[in-house]
Amino acid sequence: MISCAIMEPAVQVENLVKRFGTFTAVDGVTFAVERGEVFGILGPNGAGKTTTLEIIESLQKPTEGRVSVLGLDVQSKASEVKARIGVQLQASAYYDYLNLTEILALLGSFYPNKTAPAILLEQVGLSDKAVNRVAELSGGQKQRFAVAASLVNNPELVVLDEPTTGLDPQARRNLWGLIKEVNQRGVTVVLTTHSMDEAELLCSRLAIMDHGKLLAVDTPRNLVNKLEASYAVKLTMDQPMTMAQLEALNGRVEVLQSGEQDDPGAEDGESSSAENTYLLRLANSPSALKSMLDEIAKIGLGLENLQITPVTLEDVFLELTGTELRD
């Protein structure tokens, strides 16, 4: 971690608005990324994540508001900003007819301060592909190469747009390791993702965006802890419960989802005990669980199975946006 007492934030976004005609892609967003962080912007497709990044990269002009990167205004000092940051775009964006070494050398030639292609390829574990072309790489290798390309100018900040989208689980883990390594060398990382586990695992802080608005900025743990209900409880009963019985379990319990519906073939609405499963959210207090169990005993129903899990970012997202986040 670099000491950043006297340094400006890596990124400072103030009241950022971006409109395309009548459509508002980014709607009054304010946040700051400190140096040395891995900062994630989480949100579904169309949330305004990429537009926000493109303004940080000075690919687009803000309609309103101000964005500075490494203390430099992205509009008036675009060229200086570009020289000091590394960018990985969402789509793979490299020449077909050049090999990896040649692409890195070419990109490096655009910067005053550059790293040799061989060193970059070694950092991302692609030394044996130095004379291959991008088309010959696997999906995970392509993304690792994209990270290498974003490091060509020894950047102080790298901006990665959905670095792991479309990768298999192993390749994703591999890339997370790489991003952590880059960060450990002192490079600030800003990334967008619509993957909860990625956000939780990689990011020191998260901004949650939806419909162009910033809904929350905090560490993943704090975001979860702020939720009123911070445990998810899955009950499997020996017989169906009525809505009144469920609501009676605890005043603060929220019914998220009732168990599977009856098998259409079953007669008289009877269902097997395995199907009487209910998912509830429970407040984060020791007494809440006890009172729920007491209530079940009082009703006289048999409890076949009980699972308690901490709520996840998924729940945070649901709480903040009212919709589920889909990959």
Residues lying near another protein in the complex (CB under 8 A) = 57-59, 79-80, 82-83, 87, 89-98, 102, 105-107, 109-111, 153
Which residue from 6, 7, 33, 20 is spatially nearest to 190, judged by alpha carbons? 33
The total of other beta-carbon atoms located within 10 Å of residue 110's CB is: 11
**4 contacts: CB under 8 Å, gap ≥ 6:** 34, 35, 36
**Residue 112 or 265 with smaller CB distance to another protein:** 112
**Residue 153 or 192 with smaller CB distance to another protein:** 153
Asked if 180 contacts 140 with a C-beta cutoff of 8 angstroms, the reply is: no
Residue 210 token pair:
């939806």
**Closest distance between another protein and the C-beta of residue 158, in Å?**
11
Angle CA(321)–CA(325)–CA(327) in degrees, nearest 5?
A: 160
**Closest distance between another protein and the C-beta of residue 42, in Å?**
22
Asked if 248 contacts 295 with a C-beta cutoff of 8 angstroms, the reply is: yes
Q: Which amino acid is at 228?
A: E
Burial label, 297 (beta-carbon count in 10 A; 0-12, 13-18, 19+): exposed
**Closest distance between another protein and the C-beta of residue 21, in Å?**
15
**Residue 94 or 317 with smaller CB distance to another protein:** 94
**Residue 107 or 126 with smaller CB distance to another protein:** 107
Asked if 53 contacts 190 with a C-beta cutoff of 8 angstroms, the reply is: yes
**167 contacts: CB under 8 Å, gap ≥ 6:** 139, 140, 143, 175
- Alpha-carbon radius of gyration of the chain: 24
**Closest distance between another protein and the C-beta of residue 3, in Å?**
28
Asked if 279 contacts 237 with a C-beta cutoff of 8 angstroms, the reply is: no
**Residue 96 or 128 with smaller CB distance to another protein:** 96
Which residue from 120, 158, 124 is spatially nearest to 35, judged by alpha carbons? 158
The structure tokens 């309103």 sit at: 64
**Residue 54 or 198 with smaller CB distance to another protein:** 54
**Residue 99 or 284 with smaller CB distance to another protein:** 99
**Closest distance between another protein and the C-beta of residue 177, in Å?**
24
**Closest distance between another protein and the C-beta of residue 57, in Å?**
5
**Closest distance between another protein and the C-beta of residue 160, in Å?**
12
